[in-house]
Amino acid sequence: MDLKVYQTSPFIVEKIWGGSQLGKFLGLTNKIIGETWHASTLIEGPSFETRKQKTLDHFLQLPYLLKLIDTSDHLSIQVHPDDDYAKKNNLGSGKSECWLILEAQKGAGIYLGFQENVSKEDFFRDVKASKDISPYLNFFAVKSGDFFYVPAGTIHAIGKDVLLLEVQQSSGVTYRVWDWNRTDDNGQPRELHIEQALKITNFDLQFNRNLAALKQENLFSSESEAKCFLLVEHANFKATLLTISAQNSSFDLAFLVNKSTRPITFFLIKGSAEVVFSKGKVVLPFKINKWDCLVSAEEDVKIYLNAFEETSILIVS
């Protein structure tokens, strides 16, 4: 019996704002890589199954996407539609997402939600005039171990000098509101989507206040005990961060995964470990290191994590 467990290699996305870390890790130092999609079945960017030599969408479909993002410049200020808008406009699903900060240089941060008393009329007047709209947004300085939830309809941008792990709904729909008056490789302004953004951007005061309340911090701090944090639970994905020390070298993941009806992704953030899948007489071990990714579509399987050192792993189910 061949268990439905897949080890992936990422779909690579070059971006003008990309940093150097992803290219260095992949041995592609001549490329400016902004994103690597490690668990994706999107038709425009599926991950690759390394053992079976096919794209991941040959074996399963994921309602979520897991990626790394590395920045040397600000991303555009943008917004994503919710499920209702996406359905009405034949866009598939909406796009809520979340960010776990892995590294950030001093002073780096993210833009998330509107400041108090921002009106739709004032904001889009300045958007159409190509003015700097970042002062309308809340800026959060970030550090390793911070977590942010970005529901659909949220105005946002990732700032420069940040490396983060993103989990999102499986959608490629992004409406670019403003791009710092940046031009592309041909000297042309990058495309904006102002009319679409007008329809979906959420200006509600309480909605924008709540974004700060959903922030979590210091998620990588660990002692001798294993630590488990539920980061977010969305209709399309549940993200849990587990940090386990060498003293807790073996950990049964059953309590995290047994109730899931979706494929489960395991992404090793730091450390080294073995993930063992066991079903009947079949035992399938995977030794994984930094930024390795496993996706399991197997039901009624026992899963154990054996850590060789202090290890942090994100589990998306």
Q: Which residues are part of the catalytic machinery?
A: 176
Phi, psi of 7, deg, nearest 5: -100, 130
Strand-pairing partners, residue 304, are 252, 276
Alpha-carbon distances, residue 287 vs 100, 166, 267, 273 (angstroms): 23, 23, 12, 6
Alpha-carbon distances, residue 48 vs 2, 122, 165, 239 (angstroms): 18, 45, 18, 22
Do the Cβ atoms of 18 and 32 come closer than 8 Å?
A: yes
Using DSSP, state whether 311 is helix, strand or coil: strand
Do the Cβ atoms of 267 and 291 come closer than 8 Å?
A: yes
Alpha-carbon distances, residue 293 vs 14, 55, 91, 202 (angstroms): 20, 14, 28, 34
Which residue type, as a one-letter code, is found at position 292?
Answer: D
Q: Where are the alpha helices (DSSP H) in 57-139?
A: 83-88, 120-128
Strand-pairing partners, residue 125, are none
H and E: helices and strands count for the chain: 6, 23
- Quick one: which of 106, 90, 108 has its CA closest to 158? 108
The burial class, CB within 10 Å (0-12 / 13-18 / 19+), for 248 is: middle
